[in-house]
Amino acid sequence: MRNEIRELRSAKGLRQEDLANALKVSRQTINAIETGRYLPSLPLAIELAHFFGKPVEELFHGDDNDGR
């Protein structure tokens, strides 16, 4: 699953550490989400959406060939 977290964070001029502190998660977790190595829980995804002021579906995109 792809996401726009890195782009949105960069647009706000934030470091991974800044976003991590805001969401009370580790910087490594933000990096793992941005690189697609970790899919956040629904509560964390909603927190990310609230943080960036966008709906969740604008942050996360299903792969085109995932068959769902």
Partner 1 sequence: METTTMGAKRGVPAVGVALGAALFVASAIGGQPEIGVGMFAVMAIYSGVLVVFGRRSETIAILRGRPADERLASFNNLATAVAGTVAILVAIVGFLWAIAHGQFGSDFAIVAAAAGIAYLGALLWFRWRG
- Binding residues (CB under 8 A) for partner 1: these are 23-26, 28-29, 32, 38, 40-41, 43-44, 46-47
Q: Please give the structure tokens belonging to residue 48.
A: 């990310």
| CA 39 to chain CA centroid, nearest Å | 9
Looking at beta carbons only, is 8 or 30 nearer to partner 1?
A: 30
Sort 33 into a burial class: Cβ within 10 Å, 0-12 / 13-18 / 19+: buried
Looking at beta carbons only, is 8 or 48 nearer to partner 1?
A: 48
Q: How far is the CB of 19 from partner 1 (least distance, A)?
A: 12
